[in-house]
A and B are shown apart, each in its own frame.
Chain A
Amino acid sequence: MPATVAPAPPHGGLRVRRRGGVRRGEGLAGWVFVLPVIVILGVFLFVPVLMALWVSFSDWTGRGSPFSGGVRFVGLDNYASLTTGGGLATRDFGTALRNNAWYVVLVVPLQTALSLLLAVLVSRRMLRARGFFRTAFYFPSVTSSVAITVLWVFLFSYAGPVNQIIAWLGATGPNWFQDPRGILNLALGGGPGPAWLADSGFLGISWWDWLSGPSVAMLALILMAVFTTSGTFMLLFIAALQNVGEDLTEAGMVDGANGWQRFWRITLPQLRPTLFTVITLGLIGCWQVFDQIYTGTQGGPAKTTVTPAYLSYTAAFQNQEWGQGAAIAFILFLIIIVFTILQRWVLRDRPVSRRRMRPYLPKGVRS
C-alpha cells in the first residue's frame, strides 16, 4: 500500500518513536483487548456473510457443507435467473421489489415527518404531562412486532374495528388483508391499464403493475410500520432538539422571524445529522421488512406483500434454491447501499447559495 511507505505526515514522527519508552507494548495490549470482539464478530458476522456470498455464486442445494466437493461455482447464474431470466423467478423478484419500493416510498417520508412532528410537540416547554405523551408515543416501539402484527390483523379484519368505524362514518371498508388491488389503480377507478403501459415492463412486471401502487393489504402494513417506528425516531429527534441552542432561536425572534420560519430556517437545519440518521435507519429497516410479512400475510394476497427478504427466505428454506435465496439477499444489500449513498449525497452540507444569501447582505454590497 502506497500510504504506508510514503514519508510520514508531519505528526507521524511521534508514532514511529513510541515503540521505545514507557508506552512499549501498548499496541499489543490493544489488540489483545479487542481480540474477543473481533473473533466473535468474525465468526458470527463476517464469515457467515462471506459464506452466503459464496453460496450465491454456487449451486449448493442445502445438503451438507457448502464447501464440500460436490458444490460447483456457477458464476452469476443465480443472479441472472433473478434479473434477466424472464421466468417465474424473475417475475417473483420483480413483484417483491415493486412491493417493497412502494413500502419504502410511503413509509420513510411518513414516519420521518410524523416522528419529527411528535418530537416537536412533546418538546414544547408549555406542554403539560410531557412524560406521559413521550411514553405513550414511544410505547408501540417497545412492543414486539409479532404482537403488533397480530393486533393489526385483528383490527383490519373484514368485520374488525377499523371497518366498523368506517361503516359508522357511512362508507364500506375494504377486506384489508385479502385485497390485492393497487390503491393508485383504485383511485383512478380500477380496471386494466392502457396497452402502452400493460404490454411492456421491467423484471417481468408490466409498467402498469409497477405504477398501480401498493395493494390495500400492503397499505395496512405501511400504516403499521409508521405507527410502530415513529416512536423510536421521535426519541432521536427529541434528543437532537435538546441540543439545539435557545440562543439562535432567540436571535431569530429578535430578527422578527415567526414560529414557522424559526422552525424551518433555524431548528431544522441543525437537525440535519439526526435527519440523516433517521432516514438511513428508516431506509434500511424498510428494505429489510420481514417479520410483519412472515407473521401477518405470508406474502398474500396475490403476492402483493412479498418482499425481497421474505422471498429470499422462501426461496432458500421452502424451495431449496439456496443460491437464489443468497443472491436476493446480496442484491438487497446493494440496493440499501445505493440508497444510503444517494440520500447522503442529497443531504450533504452545501455552501449557502448566493440567491439564499442575498436577503441577509447589507444593501449595496455586490459580490
Chain B
Amino acid sequence: MRRHTAVTALGAAGLVGATVIALTGCGSGFDEGSNPTGSSSAASLTSSDDPLTVMIGSSGDAETKAVQDAVAAWSKTSGVKATVVAATDLNQQLSQGFAAGSPPDLFYLSTDQLAGYAGNGSLKAYGDQLKNKDDFYPSLVQNFTYDGTFYCAPKDFSTLQLVINTGLWQKAGLTDADIPTTWDQLAAAAKKLTSGKTKGLVFGGEYARVGAFMAQAGGRLVSEDGTKAEANSDANVQALTYVQQHLKDGTFAYASDVGAGWGGEAFGKQLGAMTIEGNWLTGAMGDYPDVKYKVVELPAGPAGKGTLQFTNCWGMAADSPNQKAALDLVEYLTSSDQQLAFSKAFGPMPSVESAADTWKKDNPDLVAFLTGADYAQGVPTNKGSADVISDFNAQLESLKTGDVKKILDSVQQNLEAIVK
C-alpha cells in the first residue's frame, strides 16, 4: 500500500508542478498587456479605439442613473463607447482588475486609497493635463497630490458642519443670537439642550468627526504637505481634552452611547439636539420628517474656524488603453454644469469653484457646508494612514475614560512609521 501512495503522490506532485509552470507562462503572458512605463511621468496618454469602462461605488440607484446618463450623453457627442459598472465592492473589484492587468479605465478613488495605488504604479497621473485644472478648490487638489504630482480630478466633496434641531432649540429657550461661534458658547448651548434622554451634541466617536475640533484648535494629524506627523501637538491635546470634558459632564455624547449607529440617526431620533455631520445628512433626514433642522458653521476654536473635508476623485488606470478619451470624459464629468446636475440628482457638492454661486443659490439651507471649503482640512493621505486612523478611532471610542496625551502619543508613533 505504501508504495502505491508514494507513486500517486509523486504523480500528483508532477502534475501540479506542470500546471504551475503552465500558469506561470500564462502569468507572463497577460503581463505583456500592462504598460509599466507611463505611471508617474505625466506626459504621454495612450490612445486607441477601445471603449471605456467606468467603475463607480454607488450610493444608490439615483447616483448610478445620474452617472450612466452623463456618460451616455458624453458617448453620443464624442463617439467613444463607454459603459458604467456599479461595483458591489469597489476595493475588491479594483484590486482584481489591477492584478489581472485589465482594470476599468476610470473609477472612484478615495483619498486613503490614493497612496497605495499611486505607489504601485497603478494610477495615471493626469491632473496637470486637465483643462479645468485651476477651477478645482486648491485644498482638494492637495488631497490628490502624491509625491508632488497631482494625480486625479476631485469629483465632488463634502465638509462637516453643525446641524441644529430647531424645535428643541426653541423649546430650550434659545434664539438665533445663541448660535454658537466659540467653544464656550457651544458648551453652554449643549448644556441647555441636554434634558432627559436628549443630549446637547451627539456625533460619531471617530476621527472623521472629532477631527473637526482638532482643526479648530489648529492641530492636524499630518502636516499639510504630508511629510511630518504632528498628532501629539498641544493643539490636538487641547481639542481632545475639551471633547473629553463635555463627554464626562454628559452634554456631549457619542452616537453609540445613546444607542444610535451614527450622528444622523441620533439626530433624527432626537437623542441629540445638535450633531456634526456633512451634507449627506439631508438624504437621511427624509426618514424623520418631523424634525426641523438648520445647518450652521461649526464654532471657531482657539485657532479660528476649522472643519474636515472628504472627497473622491476620478482615478485613471495606468493600464488603460484609451487615456485620451478617458481624460476628455473626466473633463466633461467635472465641468461646472455636469457637477450641478449630479448635485441635483444625488446631493454632492461640486468640486469646482465656478459652480459655487449657483449651488449656493440652489441650496440656500446648506450654504454653510460650501462655506466650509474655505477653511476645511483634508484627512491624511499617506500610505498606511487608513490603518492608523482606524486604530485612532478604536482609541477614541474610549476617550471618555482614556488618557488624551497617551492616545495621541500612540497615534504619533504610528504616523511616524508611515510618514517619510
Residues of A within 8 A of B (CB): 1, 3-4, 8, 12, 15, 31, 38-39, 42-43, 46-47, 50-51, 61-68, 70, 87-89, 91-92, 157-159, 175, 178, 180, 299-303, 316-320
Cα distance A39–B28 in the bound complex, in angstroms: 21
Residues of B within 8 A of A38 (CB): 12, 15
- B44: CB under 8 A from chain A? no
Residues of B within 8 A of A (CB): 2-4, 6-7, 11-12, 15-16, 19-20, 23-24, 27-28, 30-31, 34, 36, 91-92, 95, 98-99, 101, 113, 116-117, 119-122, 256-257, 259-260, 383-384, 386-388, 390-391, 393-395, 397-398, 414, 417
A12-B3, A42-B16 known; A318-B91 Cβ under 8 A: yes
CB contact between A319 and one of B6, B7, B122, B386 (< 8 Å): that residue? B386
A selection of 6 A-B contacts at a CB cut-off of 8 Å is A4-B3, A47-B16, A66-B99, A87-B417, A88-B391, A317-B92
A63-B120, A65-B27, A319-B384 known; A180-B19 Cβ under 8 A: no
Cβ distance A135 to chain B, nearest Cβ, rounded Å: 33
Most chain A beta-carbon contacts within 10 A, residue among B259, B260, B390, B414: B390
Q: Are A68 and B98 touching (Cβ within 8 A)?
A: no
Residues of B within 8 A of A66 (CB): 27, 99
The 6 A-B pairs of least Cβ separation, nearest first, read A158-B259, A61-B120, A178-B256, A320-B116, A65-B27, A302-B394
CB contact between B99 and one of A4, A42, A63 (< 8 Å): that residue? A63
Cβ distance A49 to chain B, nearest Cβ, rounded Å: 10
Q: Are B391 and A303 touching (Cβ within 8 A)?
A: yes
Residues of B within 8 A of A67 (CB): 24, 27-28, 31
Task: Give the secondary structure class of B's interface.
Answer: helix
Cα distance A1–B398 in the bound complex, in angstroms: 61
Q: Are A302 and B27 touching (Cβ within 8 A)?
A: no
Residues of A within 8 A of B120 (CB): 61-63, 320
For the A-B complex, the count of residue pairs with Cβ-Cβ distances under 8 Å equals: 120
Most chain B beta-carbon contacts within 10 A, residue among A3, A12, A42, A43: A42
Q: Are B256 and A63 touching (Cβ within 8 A)?
A: no
Q: Are A301 and B122 touching (Cβ within 8 A)?
A: no
Residues of A within 8 A of B31 (CB): 64-65, 67-68
Q: Are A68 and B27 touching (Cβ within 8 A)?
A: yes
A43-B19, A43-B23, A302-B395 known; A61-B119 Cβ under 8 A: yes
Cα distance A64–B414 in the bound complex, in angstroms: 30
Cβ distance A161 to chain B, nearest Cβ, rounded Å: 14
CB contact between B15 and one of A39, A68, A70, A303 (< 8 Å): that residue? A39
Cβ distance A287 to chain B, nearest Cβ, rounded Å: 22
A3-B2, A175-B256, A320-B117 known; A302-B397 Cβ under 8 A: yes
Cα distance A31–B27 in the bound complex, in angstroms: 28
Cα distance A202–B28 in the bound complex, in angstroms: 42
Cα distance A92–B19 in the bound complex, in angstroms: 36
Q: Which residue of B lies closest to A92 (CB)?
A: B387
Cβ distance A50 to chain B, nearest Cβ, rounded Å: 6
Residues of B within 8 A of A175 (CB): 256-257, 259
- A sample of 16 more A-B contacts (CB under 8 A), given A15-B3, A38-B12, A320-B116, is A12-B3, A46-B16, A47-B16, A50-B16, A50-B20, A61-B120, A63-B98, A64-B31, A64-B98, A65-B28, A88-B384, A92-B391, A157-B259, A300-B394, A318-B91, A320-B119
Cβ distance B401 to chain A, nearest Cβ, rounded Å: 9
Q: Are B20 and A64 touching (Cβ within 8 A)?
A: no
Cα distance A61–B116 in the bound complex, in angstroms: 8
Residues of B within 8 A of A4 (CB): 3, 6-7
Cα distance A31–B397 in the bound complex, in angstroms: 60
Q: Which residue of A lies closest to B397 (CB)?
A: A302
Residues of B within 8 A of A31 (CB): 11
Q: Are A63 and B391 touching (Cβ within 8 A)?
A: no
Q: Are A47 and B394 touching (Cβ within 8 A)?
A: no
Cα distance A157–B393 in the bound complex, in angstroms: 21
Q: Are A39 and B19 touching (Cβ within 8 A)?
A: yes
Cβ distance A303 to chain B, nearest Cβ, rounded Å: 5
Residues of A within 8 A of B117 (CB): 320
Cα distance A50–B18 in the bound complex, in angstroms: 13
Cβ distance B175 to chain A, nearest Cβ, rounded Å: 33
Cβ distance A271 to chain B, nearest Cβ, rounded Å: 29
Cβ distance B93 to chain A, nearest Cβ, rounded Å: 10
Cα distance A91–B413 in the bound complex, in angstroms: 13
Q: Are A64 and B34 touching (Cβ within 8 A)?
A: yes
Cβ distance B247 to chain A, nearest Cβ, rounded Å: 15
Residues of A within 8 A of B414 (CB): 87-88
Residues of B within 8 A of A12 (CB): 3
Residues of B within 8 A of A61 (CB): 119-121
